[in-house]
Structure 1
Amino acid sequence: MISLRQGDIKAFDELYHRYAKKSMGFALRFFADRYVAEEAVQEIFIRIWEKRRELDESKSFKSYLFQAVKFYMFNFIRDRKGALSFDEVSEETFQMGNSVEEDLHYKEMEAAAMQLITRLPTVQQQVFRMNKLEGLTIQEIASRMNLSKRTIEHHIYLATKTVKSKLRYHMSVSAMIFWGLFF
C-alpha cells in the first residue's frame, strides 16, 4: 500500500493481479451480466490508481476493494433507477415482436455504435477496435502498439465509457420508438 501511494506501478500491478479475479467473482454476485461486472472491477482499479495518494495504508486493501465493489453496485442501481431493464420485461413481450422490426432495430443500434466508434480519438479507436472487434488481449495490443498494458486498459476504459454513454442515450430514444410499436 505504501508503494502504491508513492505511485509505484509494480505495486499496483501486484495488487491488481492478486485481487482482480477475486473482486470479479464478488462483482458477479451483484451483476448477472459479466461485461458489467468486468467494467465495474476495471473502473474500480482505475479509481484506485487515480486516488492512490488518498489511500490509508493502515487499512486492509482487500476490505477497501470489496467495499468499493459494493458501492459501485449501489451507484449503478441508483443511476439506473426507473430505467427499463430487459430482465424486468417478460419473455412474452420479446416474442411478440416482429422479427423484421427487431432486425431493423438491431442494425440501427449496430450502425449507431460503429458511428460512435469512428468519432473516438485515433488511439482510443484503434485500441477499442483491436480489443472489442478483433478480440485481441490487452497484452497483444500493448505489444503491437508499443504501449504499456495500463495505458491500453485506460484507453479501453475511456472508449467504452464514451461509446456506452452516447449509445445509452441513443438506445433510450430508439427504445421509446421501438416499444411504442407494441403499446
Structure 2
Amino acid sequence: MGHFKKIYSDYKHQVYFFVRKYISGQEDIEDVVQEIFVHLWKHHTQLQKSEHPEAVIFRTAKQEIANFYRKNKMIFSSDPDIISGLEERDEESDTIWKEENLSKIERLLSELPTQNKEFLLRNKLENVSYLKIAEENNMSKTAVEKRINKALAYIRSNLSLF
C-alpha cells in the first residue's frame, strides 16, 4: 500500500498532463487518469517488482487513452506524421519539464542543511546505504534515514509551490 501511495504522489501530476495532451474534456481526463491508477493498483505487486516503474506507468497511460478512444468510438489517428509530431512534442515538453524541475530541485538542495544534502545525494545518487552512511558519520541508521526523509519531504513539498 505504501509503495502505491508513493507512486501515486510521485506521478499523479505527470500522468494528468500526459493524458491532457491527448484528451480534451476535463471530466474525460480525470476519468482516464483514474482508470490508469485503478489499473496500476490492480497490478501494484508487479509494479513494485519493476525496475522501471515510470515505463510501466506511461505504457498503462497509453493503453487507457486508447481504451478511452475505443469506448467512445473515436479514431486515434494512425497517420505517421501526426504520431511523430505528437512524439516530438512529448519529447520537447518532457525535456523542458525536466530542465525546469531540475533547476528547482538544485535550488531546493542548496537550501538544505549541508549534512542532510550530503546524505541524500550519497544515498540517492551513489546508492550508498543508510547503514554505511551512518557508520561513516558515527550515527544511527535511523538518524540518517530521518535526515534523508526530511530532506526528501522538504523538496517534495516545496517543489509543488513553484
Q: TM-score, normalised by structure 2?
A: 0.50
Relative to the length of structure 1, the TM-score reads: 0.45
